[in-house]
Amino acid sequence: MFRRLAMISIVIALYCSCQSNLVAQGELIPETTAARHGLTRPWFAQIELDQGRGRVTNIIFRGGVLYAQTDRAMLHAIDAETGKTLWSERIGRPNHPSSTPDALGGLLAVVNGSRLYLVDRYKGKLLHEIEIQEAPGAGPAISTKRVYVPMVSGMVVAYPLSIIDDPKRETEQKEGEESAEEDKDSPDLKKPARETPMHCRSHGRAIFQPMVTRDDAGGEYT
């Protein structure tokens, strides 16, 4: 419940700080106002951006971390328990659009323009980037073995995670039982880089971020 309240509070604060027509610049939601809706604010954080040109476009919550993305390709990782900024990096080009990222285990997948970026989600370090041959229609979805990217044409391309250059890399693991459980589902990076992307044609345009609904020994479904 604490994490949920913290997430709701920071989402509201970030949204309001970027919408000058709703609240005054820099104004936070008062504790009394939040309390009337059953919410509390254990902390707040500020995303660095040019309010005249930039704005926060996407926020996701994965494994105890909030990832806030701006329309200038900046990605900020914020600890949902403490509000501490863990890292902030520019992933891609600021003049190219970024779609909603996804994360699983130690990896974060981001599509910026016509490129797919795979990032160490604990450090913000870029691990690999891939040129996408078609126009992406939405953000990626990551499983333990692949990253799925939907295309405007209706094609969904599944890139194998074995393409990452350093399969023996070590990433920092967050402490606690939650991280230990999540690491059981960490992406499999130990296979040799010999797999090729898989393609699946869907009906109509693919303009929504896919979701991995099954990911086990029996196969994967999105």
Q: Is residue 20 part of a domain?
A: no
Q: Write the pLDDT tens digit of every residue in 65-104.
A: 999 999 999 999 999 999 999 999 999 999 999 999 999 9
* Mean per-residue pLDDT, 133-149: 94
pLDDT (0 to 100) of residue 199: 87
Q: Write the pLDDT tens digit of every residue in 24-62.
A: 445 778 888 888 988 888 888 888 877 777 899 999 999
Query: Which three-class secondary structure string do you get for the chain?
Result: CHHHHHHHHHHHHHHHHHCCCCCCCCCCCCHHHHHHCCCCCCCCCCCCCCCCCCCEEEEEEECCEEEEEECCCEEEEEECCCCCEEEEEECCCCCCCECCCEEECCEEEEEECCEEEEEECCCCCEEEEEECCCCECCCCEECCCEEEEEECCCEEEEEEHHHCCCCCCCCCCCCCHHHHHHHCCCCCCCCCCCCCCEEEECCCCCCCCCCCCEEECCEEEC
Q: Is residue 45 part of a domain?
A: no
Structure tokens at 221: 């479904």
Total count of domains within the chain: 1
Domain holding 204, by residue range, is 91-221
Structure tokens at 135: 């126009």
Q: Is residue 158 part of a domain?
A: yes
Torsion of CA 69, 137, 94, 17, to 10 degrees: -30
Q: Is residue 174 part of a domain?
A: yes
How many angstroms separate the Cα of 133 from the Cα of each of 69, 116, 141? 24, 11, 18
Structure tokens at 107: 């990896």
pTM for the model stands at: 0.73
pLDDT (0 to 100) of residue 119: 97
Q: Write the pLDDT tens digit of every residue in 143-161.
A: 999 999 999 999 999 999 9
Give phi and psi for 17, each to the nearest 5.
-65, -20
Q: What percent of the chain has pLDDT over 70?
A: 74
Q: What residue has token string 């450090």?
A: 123
Tallying the residues shown for the chain, one arrives at: 222
pLDDT (0 to 100) of residue 184: 57
User: What's the CATH code of the domain at 126?
Assistant: 2.40.10.480
Count of other CB atoms within 10 angstroms of residue 41: 20
Count of other CB atoms within 10 angstroms of residue 27: 12
Q: Is residue 167 part of a domain?
A: yes
Say whether pLDDT at 13 is over 70: no
Structure tokens at 101: 């990222």
Structure tokens at 26: 């820099």
Q: Is residue 42 part of a domain?
A: no
Q: Is residue 179 part of a domain?
A: yes
Could you tell me which of 103, 200, 203 has the C-alpha nearest to residue 157? 200
Q: Is residue 48 part of a domain?
A: no
